[in-house]
Amino acid sequence: MHELGVASEVLRVCRASAGSGCARLERVTLAVGELSAVEPDLLRFAWEAATAGSPDAGAVLEIEWRPARQVCEACGDIAERATGSWLRLCPRCERPLRVEGGQELDVLHLSYEERETPADRLP
Amino acid sequence: MTELDVRQRVLAANEAAAAALRERFRARRTLVVNLISSPGSGKTTLLEATVAHLKDRFRLGAIEGDIATERDAERLRRLGIPAHQILTGGSCHLDARQVAAVIDPAGLGDLDLLLVENVGNLICPTSYDLGEDFKVVVLSVTEGEDKPFKYPAIFARAEVCVVSKMDLLPHVPFKLDEVRGQVRTLRPDGTLLEVSATTGAGIGAWCDLLTARLAAKRAGA
């Protein structure tokens, strides 16, 4: 259960990227790979815990799931597979497959509400 | 509302610390392996056998990650090598900053081979680069043969898979061929070694692998 640590890092990256003009985070989009060792549901739960009681409480965490790909060494095809199931050989040419991708754990995008600056308050 | 494209690794801070460690180990020509497994797979026993086999030829050291107790580091210190216990106090993995903080105080700054035994856990340690040359996943024959597909992230990332407690194979319903197939599926270019630290079977091949990797690192490969 390292998702709480991961959620804290997501928050840190977002806050550092948004800078001091950020009043509150509104929405954060993450890429989470199938081989990232991070469980999306646990991460959403941890995100709530990491932001609770802060101005960012209630910020939406949107997760884009990135499956790993099994690519045939021989024909270059990406074998079709369901998440969590793994093929031993290429369905077309029965040659070994290599595993690519699925290791993503990235903050892609965020939106935030800006802090009111003194200039905003001028009549 | 302000929109911002970020495109940054979530664990960028850990990865920067790991990169600094990797550079330091490269300069010192220290081979670093990060051992990951579930609790009780025999990581410490494997390391004891490794130390017994290699300590006369190389300067060895170890970092032991555990939630509590100094027991694992004590076991290795008894064999005459420097070993430092990092107590994570409930955290499920080691991170690069924890490793960086203990290298000098623990006298682990000038070694040929640094063995890092992560906290017993097949999931969380997978995400944290420690500046190692490669990860080793240890799977004992007393665990289920479905482990690789259940925990694909670590089996895909570990360059070496050690199947341990091979002396117990006749007594358990562990399907070795199934494990070989699953590991090969997730890591086709990986190496699978079958060992028993109790009988010593396979320990020579494991130590040969470490020795060859150390030689390659010294040669600047």
What are the structural domains of chain B?
Answer: 12-216 (3.40.50.300)
Q: What percent of chain A has pLDDT over 70?
A: 94
CB contact under 8 A, B127 and A13: no
Number of separate domains in chain A: 1
Q: Is residue A77 part of a domain?
A: no
B186 touches chain A (CB under 8 A): yes
Q: From residue A28, how far is each of A11, A37, A111 by CA, in Å?
A: 9, 20, 7
Q: Is the pLDDT of residue A55 over 70?
A: yes
In a domain, A72, yes or no: no
Q: What is the pLDDT of residue A52?
A: 97
Reported ipTM: 0.90
B7 to chain A: closest CA residue: A108
Residue in chain B nearest A90 by alpha carbon: B185
- Whether residue B186 and residue A98 make contact (CB cut-off 8 A), yes or no, is no
Query: What are B11-50's pLDDT values in tens digits?
Result: 999 999 999 999 999 999 999 999 999 999 999 999 999 9
At A83, is the pLDDT very low, low, confident or very high (cuts 50, 70, 90)? confident
Beta-carbon separation of A106 and B149 below 8 A:
no
Q: Which of B2, B10, B186 sits opposite A13 (nearest CB)?
A: B10
Contact A108 B181 (CB under 8 A): no
Read off the pLDDT of each residue in A68-73 and give the average, rounded to a whole number. Answer: 94
Give B59-106 pLDDT, tens digit per residue.
Answer: 999 999 988 888 999 999 999 999 999 998 878 999 999 999 999 999
Tell me: pLDDT of A70 over 80: yes
Find the domain containing A31 and state its range: 3-67+102-115
* pLDDT tens-digit map of A90-119: 999 999 899 999 999 999 999 999 998 777
Is the pLDDT at A121 greater than 80? The verdict is: no
Do B127 and A6 count as a contact with CB atoms less than 8 A apart?
A: yes
Tell me how close the Cα of B12 comes to any Cα of chain A, in angstroms: 8
B195 inside 8 A of chain A by CB: no
Is A81 a domain residue? no
pTM of the model: 0.94
What strands, in cross-sheet order, belong to the sheet with A22-33?
Answer: A60-66, A22-33, A105-114, B2-9
Q: Does residue A12 lie within any of the structural domains?
A: yes
Query: Which pLDDT band, with edges at 50, 70 and 90, does A122 fall under?
Result: low
Asked if residue A21 is part of any domain, the answer here is: yes
